[in-house]
Amino acid sequence: MHRSTVFIVDDDDSIRDSLGMLMKSVGLTAECYSSAAEFLDAYDPHQPGCLILDIRMPGMSGIELQHKLAEQHSILPIIFLTGHGDVSGAVHAMRAGAVDFIEKPFNEQTLLDRVHRTLKQDLKNHELLLRREEIRDRIASLTVRESQVMEQVAAGNANKVIAMNLNISERTVEIHRARVMHKMGAESLPHLVRMVIQGRDK
């Protein structure tokens, strides 16, 4: 997985530069952009991190960029920077999925604390997505019959019941069950059930 990056999007050169230096001063990787459009052009949805975003900018606003990212099913967490008169806009942004908002002028340590907390959660989210994709790939590798047996096993049915439901012999169920456990990399029945549930989650 890539190293987490703090993306900073602000049209104010001084704020953007000071934020970039602040992040780098504590060992964080930071990338700075002067507009929402410039950020979108460079954006990689697989890159973990967080976005520090000015709510008001010429051209595409911070709120509009948030909507664009949502359309792309982005999971990049957003911390909005707001002026004194933008609190209502920040509340709207929070309802639309932003993780936090900080009013200017901001306390550097408060911002860093929130960035570190956000990056930690984002890494967990990316790991979960990667795991989910891996599980779905394993499920996709199963044959139709193996998938049917797996669903029956996950539902808690015994081999005898599965054999009756699928109109096959118990021996055939045992063979398919062993193949399912092997292909899924399941260490136990509960492990298999957890993977089946996780593979279904959106």
Please check the confidence at residue 190 and state whether its pLDDT lies above 90.
no
According to the model, what pLDDT value does residue 146 have? 96
Q: What is the DSSP string of 28-81?
A: -EEEEESSHHHHHHH--TT--EEEEEES--SSS-HHHHHHHHHHTT----EEEE
Please check the confidence at residue 149 and state whether its pLDDT lies above 90.
yes
**Residues with Cβ within 8 Å of residue 168, at least 6 apart in sequence:** 145
Please check the confidence at residue 69 and state whether its pLDDT lies above 60.
yes
CB 111 within 8 A of CB 22: yes
Mean per-residue pLDDT over the chain, rounded: 90
Name which residue leads in pLDDT, 31 or 55: 31
Quick check: helix, strand or coil at residue 11?
A: coil
Q: Which fold has domain 141-200?
A: Arc Repressor Mutant, subunit A (1.10.10)
* DSSP H helical ranges for 141-186: 144-154, 159-166, 170-184
Q: How far is CA 157 from CA 13, 116, 128, 189, 201, in A?
A: 63, 45, 28, 11, 22
According to the model, what pLDDT value does residue 73 have? 78
According to the model, what pLDDT value does residue 85 have? 65
Q: What is the DSSP letter of 83?
A: -
pTM of the complete model: 0.71
Lowest-confidence range among 8-17, 36-45, 92-101, 139-148?
92-101
Domain ranges of the chain: 5-129, 141-200
According to the model, what pLDDT value does residue 59 have? 92
Please check the confidence at residue 147 and state whether its pLDDT lies above 60.
yes
Q: Give the CATH number of domain 5-129; options: 3.30.70.1060, 3.40.50.2300, 3.40.630.30, 3.40.50.300.
A: 3.40.50.2300
pLDDT tens per residue across span 35-57: 999 999 999 988 999 999 998 89
Instruction: Provide the pLDDT confidence category of residue 197 given band limits of 50, 70 and 90.
Output: confident
